[in-house]
Structure 1
Amino acid sequence: MKKITIMASGSGTNAQAIIDHFATSGLARVNLVLSNKSTAQVLERATRAGIPALSFNRSAFAKAGPVSNLLKQEQPDLIVLAGFLWKIPDYLIQQFPQKIINIHPSLLPKYGGKGMYGHHVHEAVIAQGEKESGISIHYVNEAYDEGAIIQQVSCPVQTEDTAADLAQRIQQLEHEHFPNIIEGLLH
């Protein structure tokens, strides 16, 4: 059975969708959840699902060391960033080439890069008067949100939308499509 490691920084709704999707799958399972925040709700979600969950600090992540050693030991088939807000160090990208993916709440290359996450993205999309937005699932490389795009799914931006309205629509797309895209990558 293939192994998925999830890295997240927050509440973990995408992680939960992935955990639920693969809970009864014969293809893969979530073997580990990692977070850069010891208080992140994603750690509680993983623990409730019986999945090992650990947090780490910046120094444990910045250079090859504890996080790298743990991932070498676990040997995940795919590392999934699900709302993980730190840049992935080059050593991890080299250690797991084409095995780290991210989900971004816009149609990249628009509204990507450092500082463009969550409500910041949705506010920018609305401020620019975009007619559509969506999600981008992409491979992680050395630059924020510039890795090869695996798949994009769009949705309309309504003229009366607030950032919260758009965020809700984007989150529905994430929960619906992200687990299926992961499954496709693991086949």
Structure 2
Amino acid sequence: MKKIVLFASGSGSNAENIIRFFAQRAHGEVVAVFCNNPHAKVIDRAENLGVPVVVFDKEALHGESVLLKLRAFGPDLIVLAGFLWMFPAHIIAAFPNQIINIHPALLPKYGGKGMYGMHVHRAIREANETETGISIHYVDPHYDEGDLIFQAKVPVEAHDTPEQIAQKVQQLEYDHFPKVIEQLLLGVNKK
């Protein structure tokens, strides 16, 4: 059984979707959710599904504490599902090609520091883009610059609001993110 550790900062709808997906699979399971926000809804979602939660602060992330706790869980894959902090280089080095992230746009467009959530969808609306989507990529020491694993697109209609764009992108996340994680665990698309 392959082990997945999720990192999340907010509501945790992607995290819950991934936990539920792997609860029905024989070859992978979410063994923990790491969260940097003690008030995040993802904590309740994970606990309600029986997944242990580790809450940490910036000092723990950039020190040895989070790394030691991660090693104790022994993950085959670390998945950033709405985690907003820069991931530290020492953890990336300890888990080479085992950390992935999802971004709510078609990278390299609309990536980088400060480009997350509604900031991305508003920028896409303001630029009058005709399509957007999701990018799943390996994590490196820079925001949204790791090697791409998968992208999926959705059209942006002229009348779409940023909120409607967000709904379309979120549906892509729900449809594709767990399946891409599963493929990586099975050795398909592995770097």
Q: What TM-score bracket applies, with the shorter chain setting the length?
A: over 0.9
Alignment length, in residue pairs? 186
Determine if the alignment matches structure 1 residue 94 to structure 2 residue 93.
yes
Report the residue type matching 1:154 in the other structure: K
- Paired with 2:65 and 2:142, the residues of 1 have a C-alpha distance of 23
Determine if the alignment matches structure 1 residue 74 to structure 2 residue 70.
no
Report the residue type matching 1:148 in the other structure: D
- Paired with 2:16 and 2:46, the residues of 1 have a C-alpha distance of 8
Q: Secondary structure at the match of 1:33?
A: strand
Determine if the alignment matches structure 1 residue 2 to structure 2 residue 8.
no
User: Please, what TM-score do these two structures have when normalized by structure 2?
Assistant: 0.96
Q: What is the Cα deviation at residue 79 of structure 1?
A: 0.3
Determine if the alignment matches structure 1 residue 45 to structure 2 residue 45.
yes
In structure 2, the gaps of 5 or more residues are: 187-191
Match of 2:189?
none
Q: Percent identity?
A: 52
- RMSD (CA atoms): 0.5
Report the residue type matching 1:121 in the other structure: V
- Paired with 2:54 and 2:74, the residues of 1 have a C-alpha distance of 16
Match of 1:126?
125
Q: What is the Cα deviation at residue 54 of structure 1?
A: 1.7
Instruction: After superposition, give the CA deviation of every residue in 1:22-75 in whole Å (9 maximum; x if it has no partner).
Output: 002101000000100001111111100111012101100112x11000011111
Q: Secondary structure at the match of 1:107?
A: coil
Determine if the alignment matches structure 1 residue 25 to structure 2 residue 25.
yes
Match of 2:14?
14
- Paired with 2:65 and 2:48, the residues of 1 have a C-alpha distance of 24
- Paired with 1:72 and 1:28, the residues of 2 have a C-alpha distance of 17
- Paired with 1:151 and 1:11, the residues of 2 have a C-alpha distance of 24
- Paired with 1:122 and 1:36, the residues of 2 have a C-alpha distance of 24
Instruction: After superposition, give the CA deviation of every residue in 1:108-141 in whole Å (9 maximum; x if it has no partner).
Output: 0000000000000000011111110000000000
- Paired with 1:73 and 1:16, the residues of 2 have a C-alpha distance of 22
- Paired with 1:44 and 1:114, the residues of 2 have a C-alpha distance of 28
Moved over 6 A (4+): none
Report the residue type matching 2:9 in the other structure: S
